[in-house]
Amino acid sequence: MHDFAEAFRLAFALAASGDADLIEIIALSLQVSLTALLASSVIGFGLGTLVAVARFPGRGAAIVAFNTLMGLPPVVVGLLVYLMLSRAGPLGVFGLLYTPAAMIIAQTILITPIIAALSRQIVEDLFLEYDELFRSMSVPTHQAMAAVLWDARFSLVTVALAGFGRAIAEVGAVMIVGGNIDHLTRVMTTAIALETSKGDLALALALGIVLLVISMTVNAMALSLRTTAARQAYA
Amino acid sequence: MKVKILATAAATVVVASALAFGTAMAEDKSIIVQSTTSTANSGLYDHLLPKFQEKTGITVNVVAVGTGQAIKNAKNCDGDVLLVHAKSAEEKFVSEGYGAARTDLMYNDFVIVGPPSDPAGIAGTSDAAAALKKIEGSKALFASRGDDSGTHKKEKSLWKAAGVDAGAGSGKWYRETGSGMGATLNAGTGMGAYVMTDRATWISFKNKGDYKIAVEGDTALFNQYGVIPVNKEKCPSVKAELGQKFIGWLLSAEGQSAIAAYKKDGQQLFFPNAPSV
Question: Which residues lie closer than 8 Å to A114 by C-beta, 6 or more apart?
Answer: A40, A44, A70, A159, A162, A163, A166
Q: In this complex, do A179 and B32 lie within 8 Å of one another by their Cβ atoms?
A: yes
Q: Which residue does chain B place closest to A183, by CA atoms?
A: B61
Q: Tell me the nearest-neighbour CA distance from B148 into chain A, angstroms.
A: 17
Q: Does A102 touch chain B (CB under 8 A)?
A: no
* pLDDT category of residue B3 using cuts at 50, 70 and 90: very low
* C-alpha torsion sign, points B97, B100, B103, B108: negative
pLDDT at A1: 57
Q: Looking at residue A71, what DSSP letter applies?
A: T
What does the pLDDT look like over B201-225, one tens digit per residue? 999 999 999 999 999 999 999 999 9
What does the pLDDT look like over B149-192, one tens digit per residue? 999 999 999 999 999 999 999 999 999 999 889 999 999 999 99
C-alpha distance from residue A135 to each of A127, A141, A146 (Å): 11, 10, 15
pLDDT at A233: 75
What does the pLDDT look like over B234-259, one tens digit per residue? 999 999 999 999 999 999 999 999 99
What residue spans define the domains of chain B? Answer: 2-107+224-272, 109-221
Separation of alpha carbons B126 and B132, rounded Å: 11
Arithmetic mean of pLDDT over chain A: 92
Nearest residue, CB atoms, A197 vs list B6, B17, B37:
B37
Separation of alpha carbons A136 and B109, rounded Å: 81
Give the count of Cβ contacts less than 8 A between chain A and B.
Answer: 97
Q: In this complex, do B37 and A104 lie within 8 Å of one another by their Cβ atoms?
A: no
pLDDT at A231: 83
Which has the closest alpha carbon to B90: B104, B79, B76?
B104
pLDDT at B1: 41
* pLDDT category of residue B6 using cuts at 50, 70 and 90: very low
Domain that holds residue A143: 2-234
Region B109-221: CATH code? 3.40.190.10
What does the pLDDT look like over A105-144, one tens digit per residue? 999 999 999 999 999 999 999 999 998 999 899 988 888 8
Q: Looking at residue B174, what DSSP letter applies?
A: E
Domain count, chain A: 1
What does the pLDDT look like over B24-83, one tens digit per residue? 444 569 999 999 988 998 999 999 999 999 999 999 999 999 899 999 999 999 999 999
Residue A23: give its domain's CATH number.
1.10.3720.10
Q: In this complex, do B208 and A199 lie within 8 Å of one another by their Cβ atoms?
A: yes
Q: In this complex, do A197 and B186 lie within 8 Å of one another by their Cβ atoms?
A: yes
Partners of residue A30 in chain B, C-beta under 8 Å: none
Give the mean pLDDT per block of 10 residues along chain A (235 residues).
81 86 94 98 94 92 96 96 95 94 98 97 93 90 87 93 96 96 95 92 93 94 85 76
* pLDDT category of residue B2 using cuts at 50, 70 and 90: very low
Q: Tell me the nearest-neighbour CA distance from A168 into chain B, angstroms.
A: 17
Q: Which residue does chain B place closest to A185, by CA atoms?
A: B61
Nearest residue, CB atoms, A199 vs list B13, B64, B206:
B206
Q: What is the mean pLDDT of residues B104-119?
A: 97
pLDDT at A235: 64
Is this structure's pTM higher than 0.90? no
Which has the closest alpha carbon to A163: A15, A65, A36?
A36
Q: Which helix (H) or strand (E) holds B51?
A: helix B44-56
Question: Topology of B2-107+224-272 in CATH?
Answer: D-Maltodextrin-Binding Protein; domain 2 (3.40.190)
Q: In this complex, do B61 and A35 lie within 8 Å of one another by their Cβ atoms?
A: no
Determine contact, residues A99/B19, Cβ cutoff 8 Å.
no
C-alpha distance from residue B227 to each of B67, B151, B263 (Å): 12, 16, 21
B175 SS3 class: strand
Q: In this complex, do A104 and B18 lie within 8 Å of one another by their Cβ atoms?
A: yes
First-to-last C-alpha distance (Å) of chain A:
52
Q: Looking at residue B167, what DSSP letter applies?
A: G
Q: Which residue does chain B place closest to A89, by CA atoms?
A: B76
Q: What is the mean pLDDT of residues B117-142?
A: 96
